[in-house]
Structure 1
Amino acid sequence: MAGGYQITPVYGKFGYEFCVEKDDLKVCFSKDDDFLRYHRNLGGTVVERIIASESGTVIINPVEPLNLPDEVTRFLEIRFEPIEIEPEATRRIYVTFPIEIAVFLMKNDAYRCIDIFSRVPPKYSLYGPTDTGVITRYHWSEVFLRRPEPDPSLYGVVELDLMNSTKNWVEVSRVVFENFGMKIYYDNDLVSMSAGMKIYTQKLAYTAFEDKPIISGMQKSIELYYSRKLAGVDKLAYYAMDEGLV
């Protein structure tokens, strides 16, 4: 106990009086008569909210890392050390991605996001030429052949299947995802996404997410971006990487 409040893990469902503390992060909810006070301090930056609610549920979970600041882009680009993939082969790797954390209030079936923050400062890049390319949320990751265990309040893990459908060797050193279709799962030790990248040429690949955890028993995050479907195709949306794989 600290200050009369229960200290909890970062992610989960909570009542209206608790605190989360993790290194430079502190999130607290406290009751004040019929109102609720929210206080978040991250590295000295303070956010406060007054909430008119007597009872309900607080949900804190990781969300798509494309909200800060103010939805600059809907694309996530992960760069990594070049990999040479033999013809007509599929290989599984693991890469990390930056975490954004959202705080939701839930009453009955209605919920509202009151705060989004990240312990990882955002970086941006350009995928493609300056006139037709897209701005991306940029992240450099080490390539892992086995699932890593980063701090789940900082980084998540993408289980990524690289599928070379060509009859040639192909070099890959980046993957680009669109926000629609991102499916994030979490527990107190791991945040994860499962995805695939199907390669058609050295200049073209399609990326998509799978709606499944990489470890059984993980909780699915509330999505800020809803899934969409391709017209006439009963699958999650794909993103066409048509500006190269390196």
Structure 2
Amino acid sequence: MYGRYGYQFCVEKGDLKVCFSKDEDFIRYYRGLGDKTVERIVASDSGTVYINPVEPLNLPDEVTRYLEIRFEPILIEPETVRKIYLTFPIEIGVFLGKSDAIQLIDVFSRMPQKYSLYGPTDTGVITRYYWSAVYLHRPLPDPWYEGVLELTIHNTTKGWVEVSRAVFENYGMKIYFDEELVSMKGNMQIIKQTIAETSFVDKPLREGMQKSLELYYSRKIPGVERAVYYTMEEGVS
């Protein structure tokens, strides 16, 4: 279902149905998922529909811009680099495109949203919380529910460090997809026993994958520069 479409199509995946149809000079959009439906009327003669996996931080109503993935603790030796694979929840965006103008008209997910607090109550941040198994080799989950994060962890310290979570900010999140897989690549650099920096890598997990449209670009504040990494100051376990 991911990809580009014209203004007249209907695709189904289990209990999910997405349709565009012409009604005289207008376009009607319909999305059904379980017992919930969304319908919209679009005034457009021609254009492109994009159905892409998007940053899993939009439902409900942009509660947070931070994704926290918790996993089984890993003890990492000093001054070493290790690569693991984790899963993350999928949200799906439906966009309209005309020339260079892109408009989001719907976002939905098959995964329930859970939230947590990273850090103390007065200075911490709300995160989209997700528990993942740890994989030594790339898994292949259902791309309508979960994506795969390839995480490279670099322990720069001279001591052993236990890691059991990674927190990322939506800025810089790069999602790629094909028919079988949704993926991201990320880095975690441990700079102290309890402090790490996380960032994303703008590369697909395998050749031939397409890059998703990035929702966070539409929410950037003009003239305000953002860091390309997030500093985890409240611990990595």
Q: CA RMSD in A?
A: 1.5
Aligned to 1:64: 55
| TM-fit CA distance, 1:33 | 1.2
Aligned-partner SS, 1:72: coil
The answer to whether the 8 Å contact 1:125/1:138 transfers is: yes
Matched residue count:
232
Task: Name the residue aligned to 2:141.
Answer: 150
Shift of 1:95: 0.2
Counterpart pick for 1:126 among 108, 114, 117: 117
2:200 paired residue among 196, 205, 209: 209
Tell me how far apart the structure 1 counterparts of residues 185 and 110 of structure 2 sit (CA, whole Å): 22
Summarize the alignment of residues 93-242 of structure 1 with structure 2, pairs less than 5 Å apart.
93-226=84-217, 237-242=228-233
Structure 1 residue 24: Cα displacement: 1.6
> Could you tell me which residue of structure 1 aligns to residue 77 of structure 2?
86
Contact 2:7–2:21 under 8 Å retained in 1: yes
Corresponding position of 1:4: none
Give CA-to-partner distance per residue, 1:213-233, whole Å, 9 cap, x none.
0101110011011398xxxx9
Letter of the 1:84 partner, please give it: L
Structure 1 residue runs of 4 or more that deviate by more than 2 Å after TM superposition: none
Instruction: Return the offset for 1:108.
Output: 1.4
Inter-partner Cα distance in structure 1 for 2:135 and 2:10: 34
SS of the equivalent of 1:225 reads helix
Structure 1 match to 2:10 = 19
5+ residue gaps in structure 2? none
Quote the Cα distance in structure 1 between the aligned partners of 2:32 and 2:119.
37
Query: Contact (CA 8 Å) 2:16, 2:34: kept in 1 or not?
Result: yes
Q: 1:36 aligns with which of 27, 40, 58?
A: 27
Q: How far apart in 1 are the matches of 2:207 and 2:217?
A: 23
What TM-score do you get using the length of structure 1 for normalisation? 0.92
The superposition leaves residues 172-217 of structure 1 with CA deviations (integer Å, 9 ceiling, x where unpaired) of 0000000100011111111111100000122100000011101011
Distance, in Å, in 1 between the alignment partners of 2:81 and 2:234 is 21
Structure 2 CA distance for aligned equivalents of residues 62 and 209 of structure 1: 16
Distance 2:179 2:62 in 1: 26
Check if 1:46 corresponds to 2:33. Answer: no
Give the fraction of aligned pairs with identical amino acids, expressed as a percent. Answer: 69
Post-superposition offset of 1:236: 6.2
Paired residue type of 1:33: E
Matched letter for residue 156 of structure 2: S
Name structure 1 gaps, 5 residues minimum: 1-9
